[in-house]
Amino acid sequence: MDADPFDDFYRDGYARLVAAVGLITGSRAEAEDAVDEAVARAWEQIRRHRPIDSLPAWVRTVALNVARGGIRHRAVERRARQRLLSVEDHGASLERHAAAIDARRALAALPRRQREITVLFYFCDLSVQEIAATLQIDPGTVKSTLHRARAALAQVLGDDTTEEEHDAIDA
Amino acid sequence: MPSMLDDTDLDARWRAGLEAASELGPAATVETRVALHIAKWRRTRVGAGVAALVVIGALIVGVVISFGGTDSTRVRAVERPPGTPIATVAVVSHPDLTLTAVPQTVPAGLIEIDYSTVGGTHALVIDTDHEYNVISGPDFRLTVPRGDSNSAVGRVYLKPGVYRLHCVIPGHEVAGEQVTLTVT
């Protein structure tokens, strides 16, 4: 291997992916482990001469699968919601802290799939097509799920969102 | 008439909220630590007996950390074989069952462990000073066979903290085959 794709990944994508998975799982530590596990599996793949087209996309998909917890997914999801609703002060400004708590409360209110899609769309800036590829689902499902997630977010965050806007989102 | 995509205020608030929320989080629970620890030890295939002992140890340490009020942050090191190391530590196992590391302080990041022995069979692992996050895996559980002189090179990603390097061959650590590595 000449250029090391792992170097590029660590420099450009690692921190953002950990943060994204942390938003989904509610735990940064667990997110780091999920991403690290995915990177370790990628390394094994490459070592066994199984090429990976796009390392960031591959790691993203695997990390989300790992974070989902496999057969333990119900317990994993229950803990994720608990963690999203219980946060500790990290010294940010009051306004920023309040925004963070609001966002985590809103995330906790979303079903797992909606949370994943909304984080990938709004936080990772992925397109609908990229999200569909990451989660290995149909782009139409991504769009409809995103729509439902947005409606739910408007409910949770929308203290200053008018009824008309709710209607527009739901339309 | 506003459309779904016109609701930029919600989008903007949501994006800002996610940015802020990504910096926030609860500490890892004891349960999480133990679960992760079990998973890591299973991957090393050390064996159920050793894994069980380690889990008991992890539980004890976890409880102490939870209730003891120590100021330890979640110092973790993670196996990441690929990448370009930013520092190399020369670790040597000596015949009198001592272990030396040069330098003993390195910056955080991908560290290369250049491990060599001058006699005997040794297996080097790294763990943190505060909890049982054993660093082990195919590329940094460095085992060298018996012989006059052997060496192995492994890489490990280390965050700031204090780590302990030691030999896992029974009796070696107790005899003094351990050394501290500080990551700044």
Given CB atoms, is A100 within the 8 Å cutoff of chain B?
yes
DSSP states along B44-67: HT--HHHHHHHHHHHHHHHHHHHH
**Strand extents, DSSP E, B35-183:** 77-78, 87-93, 99-102, 105-106, 109-117, 122-128, 142-144, 150-158, 161-167, 178-183
Q: Of B3, B10, B24, B130, which to mutate for an interface test with A (greatest number of A Cβ within 10 Å)? A: B24
How much of chain B exceeds pLDDT 70, in percent? Answer: 46
Is a pLDDT exceeding 90 seen at residue B168?
Answer: no
Residue B144, pLDDT score = 55
Instruction: Give tens-digit pLDDT for A105-125.
Output: 889 889 999 999 999 999 999
Based on its alpha-carbon atoms, the radius of gyration of chain B, rounded to whole angstroms, reads 21
Q: What is the mean pLDDT of the segment spanning A34-50? A: 80
CB contact under 8 A, A27 and B24: no
- The tokens describing B41, both together, are 């030890």
In this predicted structure, the answer to whether residue B146 has a pLDDT above a threshold of 80 is: no
A114/A80 Cα distance (integer angstroms): 14
Out of A3-7, A48-52, B155-159, the most confident range is A48-52
CA distance B168 to chain A (A): 23
Q: Nearest CA to CA, how far is A51 from chain B (Å)?
A: 15
- To test the contact with chain A by mutation, choose from B1, B3, B14, B111 the residue with the greatest count of A C-beta atoms within 10 A, namely B14
What pLDDT score does A140 carry? 95
Q: CA B31, CA B93: separation in Å to the nearest integer? A: 35
Query: Which of the two residues, A15 and B66, has the higher pLDDT score?
Result: A15
For position B16, what pLDDT does the model report? 85
Position B137 scores a pLDDT of 35
User: Which one is predicted more confidently, A101 or A63?
Assistant: A63
Instruction: Decide if pLDDT at A80 tops 90.
Output: no
Pseudo-torsion of CA B90, B95, B97, B100, nearest 10°? -20
Question: What's the pLDDT score for residue B129?
Answer: 46
Residue of B14, B21, B23 lying closest to A153 (CB–CB):
B14
Q: How far is CA A105 from CA A31, A94, B122, B132, in A?
A: 18, 16, 50, 32
Per-residue pLDDT reduced to its tens digit, B23-71: 765 433 334 444 444 444 444 444 455 555 655 565 554 444 433 333 2
pLDDT of residue A142: 96
Of residues B36 and A94, more confidence is placed in A94
What pLDDT is recorded for position A39? 80
Q: In this predicted model, which residue has the larger pLDDT, A39 or A110?
A: A110
pLDDT at A91: 54
By the CB < 8 Å criterion, does A105 face chain B? no
Determine contact: A4 vs chain B, CB below 8 A. yes
Mutate to test the interface with B, among A82, A104, A166 (most CBs of B within 10 A): A104
pLDDT band of residue A126 (cuts 50, 70, 90) is: very high
The percentage of residues in chain B with a pLDDT greater than 90, rounded to a whole number, is 6
Q: Who wins on pLDDT, A128 or B45?
A: A128
**pLDDT, chain A, mean:** 81
A chain contacts of residue B84, beta-carbon cutoff 8 Å: 4, 7
Determine the pLDDT at residue A160. 47
Residue bearing the bigger pLDDT, B51 or A77: A77
Q: Which residue has the higher pLDDT, A34 or B45?
A: A34
Facing residue for A103 by CB, picked from B9, B18, B80: B18
Q: Is the pLDDT of residue B82 over 60?
A: no
Nearest to B18 among A32, A92, A122 (CB): A122
Instruction: For residue range B100-127, list pLDDT tens digits in order.
Output: 999 999 998 778 888 887 766 667 777 6
Is it the case that residue A141 has pLDDT exceeding 90? yes
Q: Judge contact between A100 and B20, C-beta under 8 A.
A: yes
- Report the SS3 class of residue B107: coil
